[in-house]
Structure 1
Amino acid sequence: MSIGTVLSALTSSKLRTALVGLLVLVGAVGGAFAVGMLGVPSVATVDNTFGDVTNETTEVETDLVVSNPNPIGVGLDGVSVNYTVSMNDIEMAQGGREGVSVDAGNSTVPLETELRNDAIPPWWVSHVRNGERTEVGIDASVTSDLLGRTVEFSRDREITTDLLGAFDSNETRPVNADSALTDDPVLYVNETRGEWGSVSEAETPIDMAFTVYNPNLEPYVVTEIGYDVTMNGVEMATGRTEEGYVIPSRSSETIEFTTALQNRRLDEWWVTHLDEEVRGHQVSGLRIEFYAVIEFPGGEEVTVPLDELTYEETIETDIFDEGEDVRGSGDTDGSGTEGDGSGTDDTDGGNDTDDGSATDDTSGDGDSTGGNTTDDGNATDDDTTDDGSDDGDDGVLPL
């Protein structure tokens, strides 16, 4: 027998032995997993934070914690991890990694992916249509090609906002023209209402209504209501009404109009929402300003800033549960102004103020405070006790 033949036989024998050994090892490992002696790595948790933000993209930084229940590490090319972040079933970010190596116990796998800012407008539409509610879904999985098994992990979180809730108000606010042609206030706004309209992919309408009272002896005409809507200084809507409203003497009229946020500007707003230096991380300020063009009985017109109606609301989100879950809240009356909102200064001594409400302040013992009368369109009588004494509210009922 030649030396070459002997070497060939020995080599073939070693290869066969190695191959058989590898097959036995794989079979043993597979059998150990099958009978439960070894476990399949799984996802313990997924932690996301926002990273760098540009005009086009938002970086999502992810720490995916993989739990390996085995006493030895796993580092096979056939092990992969994947995750998806969705908001109201709209995929916002997706990432993963092949060939993951994990030690025994818990191991953190850092991942980075990009969220396209142009996904923000579709999410916003779903958020408003869903009653300002968003379900944030985190779905992750670990797959072992060797074992042919996948272990999945899911976590859901709800975030809510209330951008318009405080706009609804019965607070009486004066409209002052600051004009030599008339005395102030020329009008009173006794009620404001606002709600989302029918949202489209392009616009988010806000249906608004003002109840306006005219205290004058002649009718006044509101020929135009203008508005500007900003979020963190980003102009979301600007416009004016296209029809006028006649406010009869000593009467009220409801002015209805619709603003429309331009959804194409939402990705620009999103960048400011995540910018710590603007208002803080995931914090925005909604601001709506109004003006009115009023026509006097003589035909003269004056443009009046409706500063008393300026609406401000703070929007705070915590999409990935990075901190305390908060919901936006602005001023308690939603107007961004301080005061009792009545626009009047009640003093005894016969002063007459016509803002649309009437209050007759007379105590039951026959003493009068001087005949103060306030008229803002809502008449109220003071309650007195049966023995003729005052019930303790000083004859003033809240609006």
Structure 2
Amino acid sequence: MDRERPGKVAAGVIGALVVVAALLWLSGVVGVPDAGLEHNSWGEVDDERIEILTTVWIDNPNPLGSESDVEYEVELAGVQIAAGSETGVDVPPGRTTRTFSTDVDAQQIQPWWSRHLSNGEVSTLVVNTTVHTSVGPFPVSRSDTYEEEIDTDIEGALDRGFSQFEGSYTVDTDAPDWTGIDPTVEVENVTARWGEVTNETSEMAVTVRIHNPNPYPIPVPGFTGSVEFNDVPLADWTADEVELRNVSEDALIDSGEAEQRTFLIEMDNGNLPEWFGTHVDNGEYTRVVVSGSFALTVDGYEVTLPPGGPGITCEFDLTTSIFVDQESGMSFDRCQ
């Protein structure tokens, strides 16, 4: 019986302390720490990592310090692009802030891009933070969530860029067997829209209405071009790599007829993580460059549209406001 008494005494002491702590908590003598999200920012960016800095505030109303465990995660369009945690964080009395570091998961950039495009180029940014603190024997958790809508208009930029092809083009062949006959092609309407989007590829459908005013049929023009974000190639295609929708490549446009042709261009999403790093490193700014040209062959003579040059190049400025306080959007700069 004597051996059992120390154990009973210890249990009684612990029980008494729990009761005292509970009474102090209920009476307001011992306060419950509060916590929330202070702000987020980009940290170090290099070829290997994109750092996110998450700062939380913790308000400890008690005269003695404590320890907390912190969890945080960042989502774009429902895709978790970063997450981290810290245990045993010292929390002194009063209000303090702590900054925690985590890296963007580069493998999640492509899934985010796919959802972003599929959702009309709109993504919801969600940052969740949770702070776990023990008040005596009682665990307490405080959570905070920050949300913001991120939107872009890359489709609009591509559409405006490729619309610069619209016009009537007549080419002086200077060929003996074409005496008095200069081929003319009228490009009446060009539009660009996103097609099927997966984690691996993004399809871009460029639809062109072509009128043939010549007294002879002409073939469907070949389409060559490229799309670059901050000098990172996202698409680079030649005429033989482009699929025509619902029409054969050797189809002709009869004299006096106007027909619509849709070119299906496949963008490789594999370069998106590299681009995203440059976008963040530039303060969430991207220079978008869209280039392209059409070409067709009539009786062995190649006609380039626009004639006499490498094609048309248009430049746009893309900005976002994920962690940078600025207006997001796409603005046109120039075409040449």
- TM bucket (normalised to shorter chain) is 0.7 to 0.9
Displacement after TM superposition at 1:149 (Å): 2.1
CA contact (8 A) 1:42 1:141 kept: no
Q: Which runs of 5+ in 1 are unaligned?
A: 1-12, 339-399
Matched with 2:278 is 272
Is 1:253 aligned with 2:270?
no
Displacement after TM superposition at 1:295 (Å): 1.8
Per-residue displacement from partner, 1:314-370 (whole Å, max 9, x unpaired)?
Answer: 2211112x3123212225xxxx437xxxxxxxxxxxxxxxxxxxxxxxxxxxxxxxx
Q: Normalized per residue, which structure has more helix? A: 2
Per-residue displacement from partner, 1:80-128 (whole Å, max 9, x unpaired)?
Answer: 1111111122211112222222234421111111112222111111111
Matched with 2:129 is 140
Q: Call closer, same or farther: CA 1:24–1:303 in 2, change over 3 Å.
A: same
2:332 alignment partner, SS class: coil
Q: Normalized per residue, which structure has more strand? A: 2
Task: Flag as ranges the 4+ runs of structure 1 deviating above 6 A.
Answer: 182-185
2:300 alignment partner, SS class: coil
1:119 alignment partner, SS class: helix
Q: Which runs of 5+ in 2 are unaligned?
A: 1-5, 244-248
In structure 1, give the amino acid aligned to 2:78.
D
Q: Call closer, same or farther: CA 1:112–1:170 in 2, change over 3 Å.
A: closer
Calculate percent identity across the aligned residue pairs: 27
Matched with 1:191 is 189
What RMSD, in angstroms, separates the aligned Cα atoms of the two structures? Answer: 3.0
Partner of residue 228 from structure 1, selected from 209, 226, 229: 226
Is 1:153 aligned with 2:144?
yes
Matched with 2:3 is none
Is 1:317 aligned with 2:306?
no
Displacement after TM superposition at 1:24 (Å): 5.5
Q: 1:190-209 residue pairs with structure 2 within 5 A?
A: 190-209=188-207
In structure 1, give the amino acid aligned to 2:63.
I
Measured in 2, the distance between the counterparts of 1:273 and 1:176 equals 41
Measured in 2, the distance between the counterparts of 1:52 and 1:154 equals 24
Measured in 1, the distance between the counterparts of 2:182 and 2:328 equals 41
TM-score by length of 1: 0.69
2:214 alignment partner, SS class: coil
Measured in 2, the distance between the counterparts of 1:165 and 1:29 equals 62
Larger relative CO (CA 8 A, sep 6+): 1 or 2?
2
Matched with 1:290 is 292
Partner of residue 217 from structure 2, selected from 212, 216, 219: 219
Q: Call closer, same or farther: CA 1:170–1:304 in 2, change over 3 Å.
A: closer
Q: Call closer, same or farther: CA 1:177–1:237 in 2, change over 3 Å.
A: farther
In structure 2, give the amino acid aligned to 1:132.
E
- Greater Cα offset, 265-274 or 285-294: 285-294
TM-score by length of 2: 0.80
Q: 1:86-105 residue pairs with structure 2 within 5 A?
A: 86-105=75-94
Query: Which has the greater radius of gyration?
Result: 1
Per-residue displacement from partner, 1:220-273 (whole Å, max 9, x unpaired)?
Answer: 323422222222211112222351453333432212111111111111111221
